[in-house]
């Protein structure tokens, strides 16, 4: 059982001992630390925080603890109840709130939950802000409100609809073309809040939605990470229903993947590629994704006359570089679409709307659309090291060994070859080096990964 404290929030398994797991005491402690940080940001009379959750089994308990802790600090809470990560992100500025908390462990299994923390813009905290909250929690430096100054909980269950309104109001969402296409789509909501939000969005766009695992019970019917090996039921349903394609999201609806009409994965990495292709065809400009994402985004960006740049891994790093480069669309290769026209956060709803617009205008099947994009294949492996080994020194040696190649070292070591790349980075929580590669065939990607594993082992003498 595990408790992980990081700059982006606190994540852990339910049950067990205090400080070893995400217990009620840990939830209260970190909610109070966040509330303290919120009050340090501005000197004002009324503070407001938006709180929403995915459908996981522990969500109601953790949300109640978090909200009432904030109430105890004199902070008013806007309770969205069952919601999505991007919906909470949209709600924070619309409510003129001071921050937001999403209770979700993203793609982790049902025994996990987490507090994901937002600033007043509805964006994830940066490293400095996150560290302040961890320091406050470590020092137990929290002061609660007196009885006449307690906060209040205000329920508002309208925000999924309001979020959909914001998506449909985007100029590039071609509602008329989507309606005219008469799409039929199977939706795997993994029994979380995507099962609420995605069918509602499709209904508003005139798309027939066949629901698969769309009851928000929190009992995930399969591993909730939207990868091919977990999606056999969706593949069978798409074929059986003669659907145009399938949609799958993770429990908090910030990751998005598609399945084509014959039950084959479109490729999670290609969610962003397709959406960027559509946006850049209407509004040429620059793009950003992280260093472990497919090179196909660079190819598509350059085809439309823009410039691509890669950030360090992590949504906050992607967003920071997107703002710096004034990009028109960006995100992460794990199916995370960030469209600044709406907000700076990964958002499966806007991804679905942009993808449908592209498909309706091109009048192609999903498999035919996929065939129009550069074909890259990825391998994702890792090496378990002993705690005594100096991972930084190992990576420094690899950097030196490949100094004649194109290197990027803002997050581990990425080596760009002519027709492939490898990204070596250490885990923040355990003695592991992750090896991500991409090449023009699966065998080539796997071979490069195996070659670098052997080289790292030689450097480490293991």
Q: Which residues of 287-307 are buried (b: 16+ CB within 10 A; e: fewer)?
A: bbbbbbbbbbbbebbeebebe
Both tokens of 248, joined, read: 């799958």
Structure tokens at 319: 């967003």
Which tokens belong to 154? 């205000």
Cβ neighbours of residue 354 under 8 Å, at least 6 residues apart?
172, 173, 275, 278, 279, 337, 339
> Is 292 labeled as catalytic in the residue annotation?
no
User: Catalytic residue among 8, 83, 106, 357, which?
Assistant: 106
Where are the alpha helices (H) located in 268-346, listed in sequence order? 269-282, 296-303, 315-325
Q: How far is CA 73 from CA 34, 243, 264, 268, in A?
A: 10, 51, 50, 42
Angle between helices 159-168 and 194-204 (to 10 degrees): 40
With beta carbons less than 8 A apart as the criterion, state whether 159 and 91 touch: yes
Look at strands 9-13 and 112-118 and give their pairing.
Answer: antiparallel
Cα–Cα dist 227/248, whole Å: 9
- 365 forms beta bridges with none
Annotated active-site positions, please?
A: 106
């Amino acid at each position: 059982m595990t408790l992980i404290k990081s700059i982006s929030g606190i994540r852990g398994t339910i049950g067990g001992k205090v400080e070893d797991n995400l217990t009620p005491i840990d939830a209260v402690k970190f909610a109070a630390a966040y509330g303290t940080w919120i009050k340090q940001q501005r000197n004002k009379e009324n503070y407001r925080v938006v709180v929403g959750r995915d459908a996981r089994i522990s969500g109601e308990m953790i949300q109640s603890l978090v909200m009432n802790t904030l109430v105890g600090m004199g902070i008013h809470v806007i309770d969205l109840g069952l919601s999505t990560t991007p919906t909470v992100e949209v709600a924070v500025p619309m409510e003129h709130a001071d921050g937001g908390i999403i209770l979700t462990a993203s793609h982790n299994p049902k025994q996990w939950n987490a507090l994901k923390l937002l600033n007043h813009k509805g964006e994830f905290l940066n490293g400095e802000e996150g560290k302040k909250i961890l320091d406050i929690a470590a020092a137990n430096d929290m002061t609660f409100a007196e009885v006449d100054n307690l906060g209040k909980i205000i329920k508002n269950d309208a925000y999924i609809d309001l979020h959909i309104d914001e998506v449909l109001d985007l100029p590039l969402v071609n509602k008329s073309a989507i309606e005219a296409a008469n799409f039929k789509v199977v939706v795997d909501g993994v029994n979380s809040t995507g099962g609420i939000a995605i069918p509602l969005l499709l209904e508003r766009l005139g798309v027939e939605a066949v629901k698969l695992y769309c009851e928000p019970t929190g009992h995930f019917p399969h591993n909730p990470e939207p990868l091919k090996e977990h999606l056999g039921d969706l593949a069978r349903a798409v074929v059986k229903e003669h659907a145009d394609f399938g949609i799958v999201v993770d429990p908090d609806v910030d990751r998005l993947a598609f399945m084509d009409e014959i039950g084959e994965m479109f490729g999670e990495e290609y969610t962003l590629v397709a959406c960027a292709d559509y946006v850049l065809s209407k509004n040429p400009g620059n793009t950003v994704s992280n260093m472990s994402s497919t090179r196909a985004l660079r190819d598509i960006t350059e085809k439309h006359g823009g410039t691509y740049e890669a950030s360090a891994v992590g949504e906050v790093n992607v967003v920071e570089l997107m703002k710096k480069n004034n990009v028109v669309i960006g995100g992460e290769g794990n199916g995370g679409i960030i469209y600044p026209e709406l907000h700076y956060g990964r958002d499966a709803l806007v991804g679905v709307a942009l993808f449908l617009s592209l498909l309706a205008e091109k009048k192609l099947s999903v498999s035919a659309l996929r065939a129009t994009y550069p074909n890259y294949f990825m391998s994702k492996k890792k090496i378990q090291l002993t705690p005594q080994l100096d991972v930084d020194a190992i990576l420094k040696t690899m950097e030196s060994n490949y100094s004649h190649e194109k290197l990027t070292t803002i997050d581990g070591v990425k080596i760009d070859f002519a027709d492939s790349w490898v990204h070596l980075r250490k885990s923040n929580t355990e003695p592991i080096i992750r090896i991500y590669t991409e090449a023009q065939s699966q065998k080539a990607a796997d071979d490069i990964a195996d070659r670098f594993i052997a080289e790292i082992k030689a450097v480490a003498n293991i």
